[in-house]
Amino acid sequence: MSEKPLVAVAMSGGVDSSVAAALLVQQGYRVVGITLQIWQESQTDPRHAGCCSLGAVVDARRVARILGIPHYVLNFREKFAQTVIADFITEYRRGRTPNPCVQCNRYVKFDAFLQKADEVGAQFIATGHYARIQYDEKSGRWLLLKAVSREKDQSYVLFPMTQAQLSRTLFPLGDLPSKTETRTLAKQLGLPVADKPDSQEICFVAEAGGYRQFLLNRVPDSVRPGEIRDVHGNVLGRHPGIAFFTIGQRRGLGISGHKEPLYVVDIDVENNVVIVGTEEHLYCRRFLVEDVNWIAVDRLAKPLAVEARIRYNMPEAPATILPTESATCVEVEFAQPQRAITPGQAAVFYRGDVVVGGGTISRRLEVTGWKG
């Protein structure tokens, strides 16, 4: 009987990647665990550590020892800084709201990590993401599908994956019905991370003040005070810097005395102005998406009906994507206006469980819109 191929598993020290490695071992694969050290947090306590800390390394090593697989720690700090963190800073300076998890998947977990897997002779890589991959004989393309667990589905942040990456990636957790099942398996296997909480924060932002303090510490010259205006151009107040605001934000505006609640509805980067309006001004139907990566199709030749998702924790809504002069830019038109379409966030297009493709929201084609 031929030996199963070698799989390099990205082990973050959390329960998901640990169970992913364990399932592959059970299935007879030869497995090597690799922890990507991408950022050094000040927090080193394994009980509370994020996916990039010393505590995460310790937990991953303990799991690898229990599973009887080799474990290595690779320094990806420079790559992470040059791609994910640089993009994070650039996007906020542009008045946009970035998604660092998408960029980490794009540049680190399914690019640089795959290159390292080649160096150790691994045929496949695997992660603890909740998603599925299938090969479609009819189209000759690898497909990215939602996970069986709708609650944990992470296909939204995986849309940058290329055909080459999909063909060499395994998602062992994609068919599990829930996160509860993952933790149950971890307990049955005696893994010490079975009850470890999920990391909720941006992994490289350790400052007490969150991402705002992070930006102040690293790019203080980019944070300039400016005006807050309403949609009619009236000056209502001052802001400390456009990087501290995002579309849909209500708190922290420092504006009072209005009958209706005010929200950030737009950011004018050129004039350093935060624009606010009422709830109805948050709604928009049409917008542009750039840097589109196609998965289920090679390109978009004509308008296509899809379900589009514009934030991680939200359902898809019916939409039509329309080609533009650029193969990597599309216009999206929702059937019904959607709230707080935010430049910098991902827009991912689905047909049922299948990811058609996705990209980054560039700009709205309507400055304001109306609900209903």
The verdict on whether 203 is a catalytic residue reads yes
The verdict on whether 52 is a catalytic residue reads no
Contacts 24+ apart (CB under 8 A), 160-166: 160/102, 160/105, 160/106, 160/110, 160/293, 160/358, 161/105, 161/110, 161/293, 161/295, 162/110, 162/293, 163/295, 165/110, 165/111, 165/114, 166/133, 166/142, 166/295
Q: Classify burial at 336, counting beta carbons within 10 Å of its beta carbon; exposed 0-12, middle 13-18, buried 19 or more.
A: exposed
> What residues contact residue 50 under an 8 Å CB cut-off, 6+ apart?
41, 43, 56, 199, 201, 203
Comparing CA positions, the residue from 81, 70, 9 lying closest to residue 40 is 81
Q: Which of 51, 52, 101, 203 is catalytic?
A: 203
Q: Are 346 and 361 in contact (CB under 8 A)?
A: yes
Q: Which of 52, 101, 104, 284 is catalytic?
A: 104
| 241: region left, alpha or beta (phi > 0 left; psi from -120 to 50 alpha) | left
The position carrying tokens 């030869």 is: 30
DSSP labels, 188-235: HTT-TTTTPPPP-S-TT--STTHHHHHHHHH-GGG---EEEEETTS-E
Cα–Cα distance between 361 and 363 in angstroms, integer?
6
Q: Which residues belong to the active site? A: 104, 203
